[in-house]
Amino acid sequence: MSPSGDGIDRVKSAADLVQIVGEHVKLRKSGSSFIGLCPFHSEKTPSFHVHAERQFFYCFGCHAKGDVIHFVERMEGLSFADALRWLGERYGIPVDNRSRSTDRKAGERRILLEIQAKAGGYFRRELAAGTARQAQRYLEARGLTPESRERFGIGFAPRRSDGLLQELRAAYSLDQLRLSGVIQRNERDSSHFDRFRGRVMFPIWNEAGKIVGFGGRALGEEQPKYLNSPETPLYNKSGTLYALNLARESVRKQGRAVLVEGYMDCIALHQAGIGNAVAVCGTSLTEAQVRLLGRFTKKVVVNFDPDEAGDSATLRSLGLLLEGGFGVRVLALPDRLDPDAYIRKHGVAAYRELLERAPTDFEYLLARAQEKHAVETIEGKVGAIEELLPHLARVSNRIEREEKTRRVAEFFQVEEADVRVELHKAAGGDRRKPELVRSRHKPSLSPAERQLIKVILDLDREAGDIVDQLDRTQVHVGMDSEVVFGAIVALYRKDGRVEAERLRESLPGDREQNWISEAVFEEGDQQQVAGCLEWLGRKRVEREVARLQRQIEQAERSRDFQLVASLHSKKARLTLSVAG
């Protein structure tokens, strides 16, 4: 069942946002709030504000905002429910209305996590033993340092068939061990044995840093070369990204992730100081993995293996990432080397240089299409464009899609209208197009508007006189802020108060919601209310004067001189009122 509203309120009342944020961000007092460098994007000048009284944070740079639960969600990469439980456990507050079934599943999950953790310890001890020389030589040959082995928890599963089984059998039932995926049953005689034998072991963590499964790399010619844990209540390979728990802070700080295919590539990048690398491991990139990565960044460099399978995986990944609204670059390393081999051969400096110069997804696709097709011929151009169309159709941002369509037409020297027709066909004809995104020009509130909103929020239940004046004079009508002041009036008429969070929730878009967040950190002055209302009134008159001027010009073109005279009279009266 979902967390109760009472549990949510109790957690928010008990938790101190300043304290929680202060564990991740160096804060300093500034007026009635605290400021520091935003943990969610890279910046040099502090724009991250925490309002202690309202228990609310807002970044004037990236517009991240919310309460203590939202902060933990973003900082720890958790769902809302998991962030709430995290805070509940910290402050000793029960937050779940659990049924017996839910309690049973939670207990089962705890046991499975224990088994995975103990299996990880067993594999690490076995790697340190004298019988693991082959595994140790393999890791040394791959250039892994002792520090990397420790950091990534790398271990070894010995060739004996029941070493881990004997380690765990006394503490857990066979049903629990089978469910964990580390132990298998022989269907012929119902005996049990270790799933992983004679393999170098890589623990797989969830984003919170708990072991949920393993990947085992064969040391000889055994097949498969890599063997992963099966699907379990803990482990869903299509929803897990390898090393995300270790990479997430670096991903946030750098504003992007480097996506690779395998364990060793990912570990090699981390060892070389590229700490924002994550890997898909054992599966093509999935929608669930895209959503998971999207919690931490919306920019990614795809660096898959340069073989045929890696090329196909890159194309599939581009489609999912573009649909997810990611900014994507593609790094195809020369000499058909994977990231691990390239760094060992050429060094990390050479890799970093290529990483910084990695082409955008569009540049990569253009070059690939040009390479595959004889574009000097009509047939070649058609083939290249047809190959690009499905990728264009999956770009979620309409402006970006149209710009790329224009560039395709220019690149291949064909009519843009023809490309658009074919793009419409590729998209299925009736494919729902994303709405046009807002202009990059985002009007901001004037100081008078911010001041007025701040005073109304501070007064809360006592804001009736100001609300009455807004409602009576309608001075806000026609302003960009009209929807905000309209919501203030409606909220006060309904609830008898204007509370910041309720006001934010009632507004239609991020722009308006961000205005409220910004106003919260304004220094309110009730003595300035009359001046703010007067300014709004003056602006309304100026808009009306401009409207009349447009009507006058139209009437003059129509030679309706009687209407011109009437409009001039109205304009003169309004102009005098502004001057007065």
**Long-range pairs for 124-133: beta carbons < 8 A, 24 or more residues apart:** 124/153, 124/154, 124/155, 125/155, 126/155, 126/156, 126/157, 126/158, 126/163, 127/154, 127/155, 127/156, 127/200, 127/201, 129/156, 131/158, 132/156, 132/158
Which alpha helices (H) appear in 129-173, and where do they start and end?
133-141, 146-151, 163-168
* Token pair listed for 289: 């993995």
d(CA 188, CA 110) in angstroms, rounded, equals: 31
Q: What is the CATH number of domain 447-579?
A: 1.10.860.10
Beta bridge partners of 59: 48
Is residue 322 within 8 Å of 328, Cβ to Cβ?
A: yes
Is residue 27 within 8 Å of 36, Cβ to Cβ?
A: yes
- Give the burial string for 151-188 (b: 16+ CB within 10 Å, else e): ebbbbbbbeeeebbbebbeeebeeebbbbbbbbbeeee
No. of helices (H) and no. of strands (E), the chain = 26, 15
**Residue whose entry in the numeric block shows the structure tokens 């005098």:** 576
Is residue 181 within 8 Å of 213, Cβ to Cβ?
A: yes
How many CA atoms are closer than 13 Å to the CA of 48, on its beta-carbon side?
21
Do strands 199-205 and 33-36 pair parallel, antiparallel, or not at all (unpaired)?
unpaired
* Token pair listed for 323: 């649909």
Is residue 225 within 8 Å of 142, Cβ to Cβ?
A: no
∠ CA 41-47-51, nearest 5°, is 115
Q: List phi, psi (to 5°) of 246.
A: -85, -25
What is the model's pLDDT at position 4?
Answer: 54
Do strands 155-157 and 183-185 pair parallel, antiparallel, or not at all (unpaired)?
unpaired
Name the CATH code of domain 239-354 (choices 3.40.50.150, 3.40.50.10470, 3.40.50.300, 3.40.1360.10).
3.40.1360.10
Chain-centre distance of CA 575, in angstroms?
A: 51
What is the model's pLDDT at position 145?
Answer: 96
Chain-centre distance of CA 522, in angstroms?
A: 28
Phi/psi zone of residue 553: left (φ > 0), alpha (ψ -120 to 50 degrees), beta? alpha
Beta bridge partners of 227: 216
Is residue 37 within 8 Å of 24, Cβ to Cβ?
A: no
How crowded is residue 323: how many other Cβ atoms within 10 Å of its Cβ? 14
Q: List phi, psi (to 5°) of 273.
A: 95, 5
| H-run or E-run covering 107 | helix 100-128
Distances (CA, A) of 146 to 112, 142, 346, 569: 28, 12, 22, 87
Measure the CA dihedral 356/346/245/284, to 10°. Answer: 80
Q: Does domain 104-234 have CATH number 3.90.980.10?
A: yes
Residue 511: Cβ-neighbour burial (10 angstroms; 0-12, 13-18, 19+): middle
Is residue 317 within 8 Å of 284, Cβ to Cβ?
A: yes
Beta bridge partners of 279: 242, 260
SS3 4: coil
Nearest to 194 by CA among 219, 223, 214, 220: 214
Whole-model pTM: value is: 0.63
| H-run or E-run covering 204 | strand 199-205
pLDDT tens, per residue, the chain with 580 residues? 455 556 788 888 778 898 889 888 888 888 778 899 998 888 888 899 999 878 899 998 888 899 999 999 888 878 888 888 888 877 777 776 554 555 566 678 889 999 999 999 999 999 998 889 999 999 999 999 999 999 999 999 999 999 999 999 999 999 999 999 999 999 888 899 999 999 999 999 987 788 999 999 999 888 889 999 999 988 988 889 999 999 988 998 898 999 999 999 999 999 999 999 999 976 789 888 888 888 788 899 999 988 888 888 898 899 899 888 899 999 999 988 999 999 999 999 999 999 999 999 999 999 888 888 888 888 888 888 988 888 888 887 778 888 888 888 888 888 888 888 888 777 664 343 333 233 333 456 788 888 888 888 888 888 888 888 888 888 787 777 888 888 888 888 888 888 888 888 888 777 888 888 888 887 767 777 888 888 888 887 777 777 788 788 877 777 777 787 887 777 777 666 555 4
Beta strands in 55-173 (DSSP E): 56-59, 65-66, 155-157
What secondary structure, in 3-state letters, does 430-450 show? CCCCCCCCCCCCCCCCCHHHH
* Token pair listed for 534: 């007067």
What is the model's pLDDT at position 45?
Answer: 86
How crowded is residue 529: how many other Cβ atoms within 10 Å of its Cβ? 20
Class level of CATH domain 5-91: alpha beta
